[in-house]
């Protein structure tokens, strides 16, 4: 009986610590819900200094950026929104093309009194970050893109033919019925197959995001992010005719997009620095936290980034 009690206590303690595995933002950060373009964008803001915007992708929310936000806040104003239809932002019926979401980001910054910023994106956030930099180049100090293709920019046509990208066209009312109540199973596919080491996307983190994606309309709007990719591709084919000139850091996981991130960006920008993170898959913040935090902080500060190649 005593042994069972002790085991129960250990399990309970493990459960409590696991729930805390998704790092909280520092208490100095404030949370705001900002109305822009028919959406309410949930935003975390903290720190002081030149502004940096952090844009998440599918499978997580702005919560993913907490370790980086904490570090950057030492000498930067850090702005971390949840994209429209994701996390704790509202669920408009439309506006999921990435140029529209870039306008959301611009609207948030304007309401915060921020004129220009460095912009960092991962996954879908990379697509929004590129759309922002191409739409507002004079407002973008530096750009960081992480482990995702950009619609319309070569080798996009090869990327969309990969069997691993079947989810780009997944969705619709019947698919939503199929996934409803099974969000965790669907998300596990991404956290497992796209990770270099799936265990680094730990159980507590999976529970945290699965609960957010189980909220009403969350999966509907997540599918909408992907359904907009064809429009995004057409928009970007026009945008890439004028190459970006601000410094760009293109980051890929060695076991995921790798050097292809820089290949993509060299088709769309003139000043690209390449970083391939050893042993990491797609989930760079979870799989290589210290490396990513140091690389991005050094880059936005204009300092050398370890392990990079420039062109």
Report if residue 119 sits inside a domain.
yes
Instruction: Give the CATH number, domain containing residue 80.
Output: 3.40.50.1820
Domain span at residue 286?
A: 23-310
Transcribe 183-247 into DSSP letters. Answer: HHHHHHHHHHHT-SSGGGS-HHHHHHHHHHHTSTTHHHHHHHHHHTHHHHHHHHHHHTTS-B-S-
Q: What is the pLDDT of residue 309?
A: 82
Note the pLDDT of residue 251. 98
Q: Looking at the domain assignment, is residue 169 inside a domain? A: yes
- Would you say residue 286 lies in a domain? yes
pLDDT at 8: 38
> What is the model's pLDDT at position 14?
37
In a domain, 187, yes or no: yes
Within-domain flag for 176: yes
Distances (CA, A) of 124 to 13, 41, 263, 300: 35, 16, 18, 20
What is the token pair recorded at 47? 């720190």
**Does the residue 6 lie in any domain?**
no
Cα angle: 138, vertex 144, 131; to 5 degrees: 55
* Structural contact between residues 55 and 131, judged by C-beta atoms closer than 8 angstroms: no
CA distances in angstroms from 173 to 145, 209, 210, 229, listed in the order given: 32, 22, 20, 19
Best CA proximity match to 190, nearest among 101, 58, 305: 58
In the prediction, which pLDDT does 311 show? 66
Q: Is 90 exposed, middle or buried (0-12, 13-18, 19+ CB in 10 A)?
A: middle
Residue from 60, 84, 105 nearest 212 by CA? 60
Domain count, the chain: 1
Q: Is residue 303 part of a domain?
A: yes
12: in domain: no
Residues of the chain with pLDDT under 70: 1-20, 311
Q: How far apart are CA 121 and CA 104, in angstroms?
A: 14
3-class SS at 82?
coil
Residues 6+ apart with CB under 8 A from 144: 118, 119, 120, 121, 129, 248, 249, 251, 296, 299, 300
Instruction: Name the residue among 24, 59, 66, 87 with its Cα closest to residue 215.
Output: 87
Q: Where are the alpha helices (DSSP H) in 35-142?
A: 66-72, 98-111, 124-135
Task: Identify whether the C-beta of residue 196 lies closer than 8 Å to the C-beta of residue 118.
Answer: no
């Amino acid at each position: 009986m005593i042994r069972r009690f002790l085991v129960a206590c250990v399990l309970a303690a493990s459960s409590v610590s696991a729930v805390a595995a998704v790092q909280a933002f520092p208490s100095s950060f404030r949370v705001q819900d900002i109305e822009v373009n028919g959406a309410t964008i949930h935003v975390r803001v903290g720190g002081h200094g030149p502004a940096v915007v952090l844009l998440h992708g599918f499978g997580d929310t702005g919560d993913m950026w907490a370790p980086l936000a904490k570090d950057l806040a030492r000498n930067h104003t850090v702005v971390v929104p949840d994209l429209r239809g994701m996390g704790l932002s509202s669920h408009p019926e439309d506006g999921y093309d990435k140029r529209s979401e870039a306008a959301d980001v611009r609207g948030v910054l304007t309401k915060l009194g921020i004129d220009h910023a460095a912009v960092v994106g991962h996954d879908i956030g990379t697509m929004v970050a590129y759309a922002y930099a191409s739409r507002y180049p004079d407002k973008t100090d530096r750009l960081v893109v992480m482990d995702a293709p950009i619609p319309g920019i070569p080798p996009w046509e090869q990327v969309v033919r990969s069997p691993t990208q079947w989810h780009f066209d997944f969705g619709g009312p019947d698919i939503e019925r199929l996934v409803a109540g099974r969000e965790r199973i669907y998300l596990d596919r991404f956290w497992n197959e796209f990770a270099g080491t799936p265990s680094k996307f730990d159980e507590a983190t999976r529970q945290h995001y699965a609960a957010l994606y189980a909220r009403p309309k969350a999966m509907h709007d997540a599918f909408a992010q992907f359904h907009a990719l064809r429009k995004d591709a057409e928009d970007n084919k026009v945008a890439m005719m004028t190459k970006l000139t601000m410094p760009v850091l293109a980051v890929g996981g060695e076991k995921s997009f790798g050097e292809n991130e820089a290949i993509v960006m060299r088709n769309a920008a003139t000043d690209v620095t390449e970083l391939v993170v050893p042993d990491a898959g797609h989930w760079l913040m979870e799989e290589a936290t210290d490396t990513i935090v140091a690389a991005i902080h050094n880059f936005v500060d204009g300092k050398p980034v370890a392990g990079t190649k420039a062109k």
